[in-house]
Amino acid sequence: MRKYILTTTCLLVFSFLLYQFVFTKNKPFKHREIIDAVHEKAINTLFQEADAYKYAQNYPKAIIEFQKIVSKKGVSISERQYALNQLAFIHLTMNEDSLAHTWLEKLDKEYPSVFRAIWKPKPTIFTISAPGQVILLSLKWLMNTCINP
């Protein structure tokens, strides 16, 4: 009898976990303390879903959302730069270097001023013409020096 109760309990717990895994929708992670500068205003919700997927490390869905933003008409220059930057970052995170390089090249062709930097004696210190692009320049430097020498 004791064995029967234990087996039944284990089966019920396993069934419940399986149900949760299969039938509940994977909701994006949204936390009010994690806010990027591009959606500080309550009005700008363009990046909230894409960033939520990125924070939840659901990179395939984040890529789809950022690609939708890049293909949209009427997106501002800074928003488009941010989306292209995030696409490159996500692909680098997923070890897809050639795809990251493709997005960086696209960003370089569309907005060459983003990549203008004055090199100091150490190659890791930048003077940047467009503020907030340290990560992007670091990725570009990494792609040019370490990955594709």
pLDDT averaged over every residue in the chain: 70
Domain ranges of the chain: 28-147
Q: What is the pLDDT of residue 126?
A: 42
Question: What is the rounded distance in angstroms from the CA atom of residue 123 to the CA atom of residue 128?
Answer: 13
pTM above 0.75, yes or no: no
Question: What is the rounded distance in angstroms from the CA atom of residue 147 to the CA atom of residue 129?
Answer: 25
Per-residue confidence in pLDDT tens, the chain, 149 aa: 777 777 777 667 767 666 666 666 555 555 555 555 555 555 457 788 888 888 888 999 999 999 999 999 888 888 888 888 899 889 988 988 888 888 888 888 887 666 554 333 344 444 444 444 445 555 555 556 555 54
Q: What is the pLDDT of residue 141?
A: 56
Query: At 134, phi and psi to the nearest 5?
Result: -60, -45
- Taking domain 28-147, whether its CATH number is 2.40.50 is answered by no
